[in-house]
Structure 1
Amino acid sequence: MSVQTWTWILVGVTFALYFGIAIWARAGSTKDFYVAGGGVSPLANGMATAADWMSAASFISMAGIISFAGYDGSVYLMGWTGGYVLLALLLAPYLRKFGKFTVPDFIGDRYYSNSARTVAVICALIVSFTYVAGQMRGVGIVFSQFLQVDITLGVIIGMAVVLVFAFLGGMKGITYTQVAQYCVLIFAFMVPAIFISIQMTGNIIPQVGMGGTLEDGTYLLDKLDTLHTELGFKEYTQGSKSTWDVFAITFALMVGTAGLPHVIVRFFTVPKVKDARKSAGLALLFIAILYITAPAVAVFSRTNLIETVRDQSYTDIPEWFKNWEDTGLIAWSDKNGDGKIQYVQGSALVGKKPEFLEGRGVYGERLISNASDATNELYVDRDIMVLANPEIAGLPNWVIALVAAGGLAAALSTAAGLLLVISTSISHDLIKKQLKPNISDKGELRWARASILVAIVIAGLFGIYPPGFVAAVVALAFGLAAASFFPAIILGIFDKRMNKQGAVAGMVVGITLMLGYMIVYKTGLIGIMDPLPPSDWWFGTSPEGFGTIAMCVNVVVSLVVSRMTPKPPKDVTDMVENIRIPSGAGEAAQH
């Protein structure tokens, strides 16, 4: 069967499974809708948390990031997995014992302030919309390439699917759907990795294959280093970032991960405090399966791509190359007129990305930069590395289709979790807690579902009409969470003297500082100025790592302001003391 037929079959079966779970797990109360009734097992919650976290970015882009960054890409592996250690040790048990539905709910009650709650809601909305826009765009790309439908139609289909299990089941439906989605995405990621590892090195374990030898006895990593140096790139296994920047990025990703609202809310769905700790550990294990495999996938895909396209005549290029040109994820311009693809160090693009350009050249190539001072003729988007990897390696059609189903599962699972954060922020933290405190349970549930409906429409519009800075602000989500939520939560748990004035001041300063730095050094002032160069970075800190500095500033401001203003009320300090006492943890399950 063709790739398209296999894709329709696998996507149809998995979608039918998701719909069935959504109908079975229909939410009947706000507790079901917000925290799945608080009765999810640690195993199921661990798998759901893993699926919630491993978005289209992890499934589609993780190996792509590493394949281009090489050794420097290790910061993403360390940061994103290390964040779960912080969750398991410093946040999950205490937040679960506090017994609230959302992060803004914790911040609002801990700091006895609707102002703090409102700031937290704004942070949650910014982070969540940033993420969900990327997920919907990823859904559109997968549908467009593998099912041969327009990207816009693909986004609309994705919106409809998410709407069903998020609207009907809330967190209850999303949780059990995410368990199924985790199984789909991890199987889809591992199968081609195992196939290609056997194909290239004879090792069934991809991690071993990455360090193995090829048929000619050459080590695979040595071969990739040689290919890189021949094309003018730095050696794949050689790092170029400063030690400080590596630390800053890793730490920002760690504390950003631990502060992401759609991940934290998962620990409110289990019955007991100890279950929150167990599910955090299990989530780390389930996530590690993909994350320790991603470097191997990066090495395999990078090697195969280079050997397939360099100095290859366009007329003889494999069919997968021409198919992927239509998505804009790969593009070629014959600058020297020899009809061959020249792939060397250097930018192939000037101005907009190829998906926004019209027209084709003599060989059918998508028109990109024709600058005479640039010799590189090939544009390769990092997102192609996982999606096209099975095609580049010549794997069976069902494996190619399986990757499509896995990419959709990753994108939809995270989109659902993010949409629920948006919904609860509006219906619970704004409507219930501030505007209509006497609203009935059914009324609040109606507001929650209405919020999800509006959020899906907005997310779909971002997916169909992505702003030019979406790729840049993905990193902002981590920096924003690190600079705002993480200090407020940690200090709220471990510092009884922390008050509302300190928390609000710290969050506002942290958000403002991080947002300003990202705009100036990552996105620029759109239409007014370009991003400032790395030579102007503060203390040599990249925008991806600046969350570490913004977080430290937040902590300092919070502590100083809190010491200069009145102490928190006694009932608040007693509440903090109770959160930190392990004994009595069982009673928290009753809240």
Structure 2
Amino acid sequence: MSAVAVTPSWRLHACLLGVWFAVSFGTAFFARDLQFLVAGWPFAFWMTAQGAVLVFVGIVVAFAWVANRRDTTPLGFDLVTYTHSKQKLHRRFVAYVAGLLIFLLALAFAERLGLARHWIAAIFLTSTLLLYALIGIYGRTSDASEYYVAGRRIPAFYNGMATAADWMSAASFISLAGGLYLQGFSGSEAQPGGLAYVLGWTGGFCLVALLVAPYLRGMGLYTVPEYFDMRFGGRWPRLIAAGAAILCSFTYVVAQIYGVGLITSRLTGVHFEIGILLGLGGVLVCSFLGGMRAVTWTQVTQYVIIILAFLIPVSWLAYKQIGNPFAPLVYGQQLEKIAVLEQQLLKSPAEQAVMAEYARRAKEFETKLLDVDAALLNHRQELRAKLLALGDQKADDAHAVALRRELAAVPKDSATARELWTRARADNLERAQPLGGLPLHSLPYAGDPTGDAQAKQAFDTSRLNFLALMFCLMAGTAGLPHVLTRYYTTPSVAETRNSVAWSLVFIALLYLSAPALAVLVKYEVMAHLVGQPFDNLPAWISQWSKDAALLSVADVNGDHVLQFAEIKVGADFVMLASPEIGGLPYVVSMLVAAGGLAAALSTADGLLLTIGNALARDAFSAQGSSKAQDMRRVMWSKFALLVVALMAAYAAAQKPAGILHLVTASFSLAAAGLVPVMVLGIFWKGTTHAGAISGMLSGLGITVLYMAINNPTLRSYMGLEGRGLWWGIQPMSAGVFGFAFGTVVTIVVSCASGRKRANGILA
């Protein structure tokens, strides 16, 4: 395992990091002051949704270009042979893309000729999983270098594409556009989000490029925890890093397998749990047989499916509404129209009637919660009395059937009733707010900085949560082991820099389009659905509302006309239903489902590989590097991967939380547990063994503690009153405390423990 010294250019780093900070945190902080229009766009919205992403791409590309020109390190490979192999890969890639497009056109033609929908779904699922399985079988290996790092011969272009697929998980593909639909610019005071995800998940790659990836690649490692062993010495830094990698990766992979179950059940119609097992088979064939070698080329094929599946619906919606398919360039027109429609809805008597009904229902649940036992008894007696009043002659009447179902659904005990009614009260209170509880789409932050004390407090808390979430996502990106390991597969440090640049370019294609899709779908709903009689609603409404978690509509005020507040949309609905909303053929709907499956599978592949390697190579494996020991490690990595996959499948089957929330938690854990010590170890020779251990444990400890004390179930169990929030920051951004605390502890303990310096990368 050869190491290559990588020396940073401090002036270049400082300049690029200054630009990164200004366009991300500077724009976000002053967003309410940057509301002037430029070419029809609210400047803050455009800068946050698009301008900053383009600047991030420029930063990473500029860094790679300048640093590679200065890099005099020998290539370490035969350039002529490498160029020839790249040309061969280019030909294969072009053939694959052409074949995929022909396959899609053939299925579309077959649909027009009358091919049944269930056959189209079966063909999509079978063909994609078979393709991934064939790559896994073809790439099978037991060689350590091939299994862990794909032989370190993946060109930057293809590694960037594989990294993008690895990165664009179910959260990005399935949930991001829906989250932007629901949260607008910044979310609410209690639920931050919105464009923080776009800034955080793209801006983080600037940190990967400037602070982490080239330096780790220069050390010739196989796993991320190996860095902690090599840099700080001793077993404990590596063990703690392996534990942190397993913790954040397991949280992340549960979200991906949840997405696998959701999409596979959508493709096949099978139960959610069966869908998990079907999709999991596709994951295991690749990662179990071929490790990083097979996973890399599987992820390249998956990226093409993912990006086609995302861009086709959003481009069609843009063309349908505006006459221009380049959605990121033109959706600002619809943003302006949405602002007008929002003001009309705020003044609508029909919308106010719906809000009043939701407020009445919330009050009713609040009354029931005052005496749960009595309310439960009265509710049962009322339903039985109504059934008795109908009489035996109307036993088959639809109303009687509905009453019997309602009676069967009555909670069995007071504890269950209290939990259900508390949730129902909160849901009705939220929907009793203007616009069904959704914020104004282009307005940054809740509250008002010029209002009363309460409005100012709401604004400050909302902005602080946005900044904290964005920071956790950025720092977490720089510490996610399954992403960093991808940059071990390139032939050289220079190719690693190029690979990070290509990664962000490929990722930006989706992240520039996600805000556009959210706006276009919201305009479609506000302009073409709201105000329609229930009898005239399109067929896709009834199809998707079969799953209330994705979509529910109800005539709350009894006027037989759909109001905006009567529509409840789940975050996963917007992307999955976009083809039906745009009126596209069923083949495109299946392409979107296949894209979602590819996104979840690609990330699950990388995460399971990371967890298996951390367990087998970092946590429990004996030291040594003989060929026999390496083969045993590969064998144990495969076994650990299989066990972890089954554990994650069981956890996902419990449907623990939304995809976005699970993913965000993993970023906080990575940001707090790995990044401070990793970056300090790279750039500060004074970081010591004791400092590294203390920093990782304290950072992780504070993050897990903050998440735990703000978990509603745990607070109720422990009898804790009120909220446990510090400065109003939500638990999903707990990593901001862990990062700060871990950094301080690492520095303090390193200074106290050491005139004796560890062997530093820059020493």
TM-score range, shorter chain: 0.7 to 0.9
C-alpha distance in structure 2 between counterparts of 1:131 and 1:336, whole Å: 41
- Is residue 2:670 matched to residue 1:449? no
C-alpha distance in structure 2 between counterparts of 1:523 and 1:298, whole Å: 30
**1:207 aligns to what?**
328
TM-score (structure 2 length as normaliser): 0.67
**1:164 aligns to what?**
285
Q: For the Cα contact (< 8 Å) 2:260–2:280, is it kept in 1?
A: no
SS of alignment partner, residue 331 of structure 1: strand
Candidates 8, 12, 30, aligned match of 2:126? 12
Q: CA deviation at 1:332?
A: 4.0
Q: For the Cα contact (< 8 Å) 1:210–1:220, is it kept in 2?
A: no
From the superposition, tell whether residues 228 and 487 of structure 1 become closer, same or farther in structure 2 (CA, over 3 Å): farther
C-alpha distance in structure 2 between counterparts of 1:514 and 1:103, whole Å: 20
TM-score (structure 1 length as normaliser): 0.85
C-alpha distance in structure 1 between counterparts of 2:651 and 2:238, whole Å: 26
Unaligned runs of 5+ in 2: 1-110, 187-193, 352-433, 447-459
Candidates 573, 582, 586, aligned match of 1:384? 573
Candidates 254, 278, 298, aligned match of 1:177? 298
Candidates 443, 448, 457, aligned match of 1:238? 443
C-alpha distance in structure 2 between counterparts of 1:460 and 1:235, whole Å: 38
From the superposition, tell whether residues 290 and 438 of structure 1 become closer, same or farther in structure 2 (CA, over 3 Å): closer
**2:156 aligns to what?**
42
Structure 2 counterparts to residues 254-293 of structure 1, below 5 A: 254-293=474-513
Q: For the Cα contact (< 8 Å) 2:125–2:267, is it kept in 1?
A: no
C-alpha distance in structure 1 between counterparts of 2:337 and 2:640, whole Å: 51
Q: CA deviation at 1:479?
A: 0.9
Q: CA deviation at 1:271?
A: 1.1
Q: For the Cα contact (< 8 Å) 2:339–2:440, is it kept in 1?
A: no
C-alpha distance in structure 1 between counterparts of 2:735 and 2:268, whole Å: 39
Structure 2 counterparts to residues 409-420 of structure 1, below 5 A: 409-420=598-609
- Is residue 2:737 matched to residue 1:555? no
C-alpha distance in structure 2 between counterparts of 1:551 and 1:58, whole Å: 24
Task: Name whichever of 542-551 and 21-30 sits farther off.
Answer: 542-551
What code does the residue aligned with 2:208 have?
L
C-alpha distance in structure 1 between counterparts of 2:692 and 2:533, whole Å: 61
Task: Name whichever of 506-515 and 76-85 sits farther off.
Answer: 506-515
Structure 2 counterparts to residues 124-143 of structure 1, below 5 A: 124-143=245-264
SS of alignment partner, residue 687 of structure 2: coil
Q: For the Cα contact (< 8 Å) 1:133–1:466, is it kept in 2?
A: no
Candidates 295, 298, 301, aligned match of 2:518? 298
From the superposition, tell whether residues 75 and 468 of structure 1 become closer, same or farther in structure 2 (CA, over 3 Å): closer
Q: CA deviation at 1:124?
A: 1.0
Spell out, residue by residue over 1:257-284, the C-alpha distance to the aligned partner (whole angstroms, 9 max, x if none): 1111110111111111111111001000
SS of alignment partner, residue 568 of structure 2: strand
Candidates 186, 191, 195, aligned match of 2:307? 186
From the superposition, tell whether residues 265 and 401 of structure 1 become closer, same or farther in structure 2 (CA, over 3 Å): same
Q: CA deviation at 1:196?
A: 0.6
From the superposition, tell whether residues 469 and 303 of structure 1 become closer, same or farther in structure 2 (CA, over 3 Å): closer
Task: Name whichever of 412-421 and 321-330 sits farther off.
Answer: 321-330
Q: CA deviation at 1:338?
A: 5.1
**1:478 aligns to what?**
667
Give RMSD over aligned pairs: 2.5
Spell out, residue by residue over 1:354-401, the C-alpha distance to the aligned partner (whole angstroms, 9 max, x if none): xxxxxxxxxxxxxxxxxxxxxxx4432111010012112222212111
SS of alignment partner, residue 685 of structure 2: coil
C-alpha distance in structure 2 between counterparts of 1:486 and 1:259, whole Å: 5
From the superposition, tell whether residues 154 and 531 of structure 1 become closer, same or farther in structure 2 (CA, over 3 Å): farther
SS of alignment partner, residue 78 of structure 1: helix
From the superposition, tell whether residues 4 and 219 of structure 1 become closer, same or farther in structure 2 (CA, over 3 Å): farther
C-alpha distance in structure 2 between counterparts of 1:89 and 1:118, whole Å: 26
Spell out, residue by residue over 1:450-507, the C-alpha distance to the aligned partner (whole angstroms, 9 max, x if none): 1111111111112222335876443211111111111011011011111121111111
Q: CA deviation at 1:537?
A: 3.2
Give the percent of matched residue pairs that are identical in Structure 1 and Structure 2: 37
C-alpha distance in structure 2 between counterparts of 1:279 and 1:90, whole Å: 15
Candidates 589, 595, 608, aligned match of 1:406? 595
C-alpha distance in structure 2 between counterparts of 1:117 and 1:273, whole Å: 23
Spell out, residue by residue over 1:147-200, the C-alpha distance to the aligned partner (whole angstroms, 9 max, x if none): 211111110101111110111110110001000001110011001111110001
Q: CA deviation at 1:340?
A: 5.0
Q: CA deviation at 1:246?
A: 2.7
SS of alignment partner, residue 583 of structure 2: coil
Task: Name whichever of 259-268 and 543-552 sits farther off.
Answer: 543-552
Unaligned runs of 5+ in 1: 345-376, 579-591
Q: CA deviation at 1:322?
A: 2.4
Q: CA deviation at 1:320?
A: 1.8
**1:361 aligns to what?**
none
**1:331 aligns to what?**
552
From the superposition, tell whether residues 314 and 21 of structure 1 become closer, same or farther in structure 2 (CA, over 3 Å): same
SS of alignment partner, residue 564 of structure 1: helix
SS of alignment partner, residue 379 of structure 1: strand
Q: For the Cα contact (< 8 Å) 2:258–2:659, is it kept in 1?
A: no
SS of alignment partner, residue 528 of structure 1: helix
Q: For the Cα contact (< 8 Å) 1:329–1:381, is it kept in 2?
A: yes
**1:515 aligns to what?**
704
C-alpha distance in structure 1 between counterparts of 2:596 and 2:323, whole Å: 27
**1:543 aligns to what?**
731
**1:502 aligns to what?**
691
Q: For the Cα contact (< 8 Å) 2:132–2:298, is it kept in 1?
A: yes
- Is residue 2:253 matched to residue 1:253? no
From the superposition, tell whether residues 436 and 314 of structure 1 become closer, same or farther in structure 2 (CA, over 3 Å): farther
C-alpha distance in structure 1 between counterparts of 2:721 and 2:327, whole Å: 40
Task: Name whichever of 42-51 and 511-520 sits farther off.
Answer: 511-520
C-alpha distance in structure 1 between counterparts of 2:659 and 2:720, whole Å: 15
C-alpha distance in structure 2 between counterparts of 1:407 and 1:35, whole Å: 26
Spell out, residue by residue over 1:562-585, the C-alpha distance to the aligned partner (whole angstroms, 9 max, x if none): 11113455xx42x4226xxxxxxx
Question: Computing the radius of gyration over CA atoms, which structure comes out larger, 1 or 2?
Answer: 2
C-alpha distance in structure 1 between counterparts of 2:704 and 2:748, whole Å: 22
Q: CA deviation at 1:526?
A: 6.7
